Amino acid sequence: MPVPKPHPALTPPMGWNSWNTFGPKVTEADVRGTADFFVEHGLRDLGYHYLVIDDFWEADQRVDGRLTWNPETFPGGIPALADYLHERGLKLGIYSCCGTHTCGGKPGSYRYEEIDARTFAEWGVDYLKYDGCFHPPGADMKQSYRRMGQALRNSGRDIVYSLCNWGLGDVWTWGGQVGGHLWRTTGDIQDNWNSIVKIGFRAQKELAPYAAPGRWNDPDMLVVGMRGKGNAEVIHGHEGQGCTDDEYRSHFALWCLLAAPLMIGCDVRRMDEVAAGILSNRALIAVNQDPLGIQATCIGAHRNVEAWAKPLADGSIAAGLFNLGPGPQKTAPLAWETLGLPETTACCVTELFTGEVRGRWTRCYSSGEIPSHGCEVLRIVPQPA
């Protein structure tokens, strides 16, 4: 009896995507340099495995009916780039679109699904981000995504399938049915706090039932470390500014609690120590990669502080207290009742950004002061009676 293949996305995919920083100017050298950094600075060993080339890797026209790469920006070709990543223990992701053209006007995969999937497999691609631009009016987008999902299954290679139709048609209700492993739930993220609140804290609140191992809600890439630099569409009027350190911490913490894909969007070769520390937090990554695959839900609010929580496979609970308000919050409570714990249960509480053990608590935990747009992220471990 043949041994079944492992599922390619039983935990949320982790990696990097070129769009936030490089946009239409991405080059082979950028991807190779990022791969080298991932290996040399430990990001690969933390689980960041996929390097995804977004739009504009393509030539302007198909050749003999097949997609090919832009020889000026990717002179070595995509197969050689895939080999380069694979030799370093990394995986290559690529971009296409379910329409006649990509969002940047390059050839799309509409009605070319089988040949494009075979091409990607032959090149050694491990991940496909499949966008939704220029889909023919009147055509069924769900069926277009289904055709590519089937084509990828027919290709003979395990390829993670990322649906990027910005949440249209409540894609979370059917993304898994068409072969998707993850699906974007909103429009594009930007490097500012309002965008993080809208996409993360608001748009994800009702979507937890649709997440499970191998099936992930995707609130878009991380903006941690961008500092208002990069693709103009992502910084969008916040050039040279971006989010604060506290906002980046809250952004990363929420994505980890949501079991969201963790796709770095900054130029890692130029990120500062604060951003590197956030993205390298092993305790939070463990929460994100927890094998139960449960997406956190908002379990309550105290003034401007929202509490989000999820159970973990070892019986502990991960919880975040997020101050969405304009000023600091001196303290915020987290009652055991909201976590589904008996009031008398003694729990050991550890803050995951600092690693500080906050001691044993019963009935309710009380936070320290939480700065504006900052957070506390906790691992709550019930103790034996």
pLDDT tens string 319-369: 999 999 999 999 999 999 999 999 999 999 999 999 999 999 999 999 999
Determine whether 158 is an active site residue.
no
- How many angstroms separate the CA atoms of 54 and 227, rounded? 21
| Single-letter code of the amino acid located at 332 | A
Marked catalytic residue, from 83, 158, 188, 246:
188
In 3D space, the residue among 207, 206, 135, 139 whose CA is nearest the CA of residue 164 turns out to be 135
- pLDDT, tens digit (0-9, with 9 covering 90-100), for 257-286: 999 999 999 999 999 999 999 999 999 999
CA atoms of 250 and 353, how far apart (whole Å): 10
Look up residue 98 and give its DSSP letter: S
Whether 5 has a pLDDT exceeding 70, the answer reads no
**pLDDT for residue 144 is more than 80:** yes
Q: What does the pLDDT look like over 192-224, one tens digit per residue?
A: 999 999 999 999 999 999 999 999 999 999 999
Distance between CA 175 and CA 182 in Å, rounded?
7
Domains and CATH numbers, the chain: 14-288 (3.20.20.70), 297-382 (2.60.40.1180)
At residue 305, the 3 state secondary structure works out as strand
Residue partners of 59: CB distance under 8 A and separation at least 6: 67, 68, 69, 70, 71, 106, 107
Structure tokens at 48: 């960041």
Please tell me the distance from the alpha carbon of residue 373 to that of residue 325, in angstroms, as a whole number: 6
The pLDDT tens digits for 277-330 are: 999 999 999 999 999 999 999 999 999 999 999 999 999 999 999 999 999 999
Stretch 79-83: mean pLDDT, rounded?
Answer: 99
Q: Using the predicted structure, report yes or no on whether residue 30 has a pLDDT greater than 90.
A: yes
Residues 6+ apart with CB under 8 A from 102: 55, 58, 95, 96, 108, 131, 133, 134
In the DSSP assignment, the letter for residue 202 is I
131 catalytically annotated: yes
The pLDDT tens digits for 224-262 are 999 999 887 777 777 778 999 999 999 999 999 999 999
Q: Which is catalytic among the residues 116, 126, 131, 220?
A: 131
Distance between CA 116 and CA 371 in Å, rounded? 49
Residues 6+ apart with CB under 8 A from 105: none
Q: What is the pLDDT of residue 385?
A: 76
